[in-house]
Amino acid sequence: MSVLFFKRFLQRPLQIASITPSSRALVKRVASKIDFDRARVIAEYGPGEGVHSRELTRRMRPDAQLLLFELDGALSRDLARQFSHDRRVHVINANAAAISDELRRRRIAQCDYIISGIPFSILERGKKRHLLRQTHDALAPGGAFIIYQVTNELRQHATDFATAESEYFLQNIPPMFVTVFGKDGMRNGSNGVHAHVHAGAVSSNAR
Ligand SMILES: C[S@@+](CC[C@H](N)C(=O)[O-])C[C@H]1O[C@@H](n2cnc3c(N)ncnc32)[C@H](O)[C@@H]1O
């Protein structure tokens, strides 16, 4: 699967932005930021060949859902094949900026967590801000947006979020900043994450 990832990098170096998938240590570190007991809806931007997605599905509740937004067609097809047996996973071959439309279409109100590996730093400022706004809107109160990036420049743009906690993680080539942006708010009397799926309305749309 890394061979496919490398081939896609050669085709679209700016979009893929890395020659190898995240290290096992980075995958575990990112997953450690998630409370899987409570997470019902998780979205992942730029899953690539699925190194984080596989860990997420290993830890997710049986009734949770994972929405994978991958821009690359070949990687999306590979993800759909990998997760064809797992009804919790939905592969969406689209720009992550389509998250609001996708949630509406699937009648999911909001996500508990959004994980991102897309190269935000190369996005033009307007697109970056638009995607951040979409992401903030797509999160439930008390939800979190978790990114891993070579630079930490997104912090200066992510002003809608109530909190931001970063660490510099060395056990990856290249080392990455892992940042958790928290969305403020309380709902139903507690301040944790919440499920916001309208009953019985979600269907698979793997392509
Ligand atoms: C650096 S790779 C990360 C892959 C994987 N998450 C990992 O950790 O190894 C970035 C991925 O994001 C995808 N991507 C880039 N921009 C995107 C966007 N706007 N929406 C969805 N996916 C995007 C690329 O196609 C690529 O698969």
Query: Six-digit token pair at 179?
Result: 């940042």
Record the pTM. 0.89
Q: What pLDDT is recorded for position 18?
A: 77
Helical H segments across 50-105, by residue range = 51-59, 73-82, 99-105
Ligand 1 centroid, distance to 17 Cα (angstroms) = 8
pLDDT given at position 203 = 28
Mean pLDDT of 175-186: 91
Above 80 in pLDDT, residue 126?
yes
User: Could you give the CA distance from residue 7 to residue 74 in angstroms, rounded to a whole number?
Assistant: 10
Q: What is the DSSP letter of 121?
A: G
**47 pocket-lining for ligand 1 (C-beta < 6 Å):** yes
pLDDT band of residue 11 (cuts 50, 70, 90) is confident
Round the average pLDDT of the chain to a whole number and report it: 88
Give the span between the Cα atoms of 95 and 82, in whole angstroms. Answer: 20
Averaged over 112-119, what is the pLDDT?
96
Question: Is the minimum distance from the CB of 114 to ligand 1 under 6 angstroms?
Answer: no
With a 6 Å cutoff on the Cβ, whether 21 touches ligand 1 is yes
Domains by residue range for the chain, with CATH: 2-182 (3.40.50.150)
pLDDT grade for 186, boundaries at 50, 70 and 90? low
Other residues' Cβ atoms within 10 Å of the Cβ of residue 189: 5
If one residue of 7, 27, 66, 118 were mutated to test the ligand 1 pocket, choosing by the most ligand atoms within 8 A of its CB, it would be 118
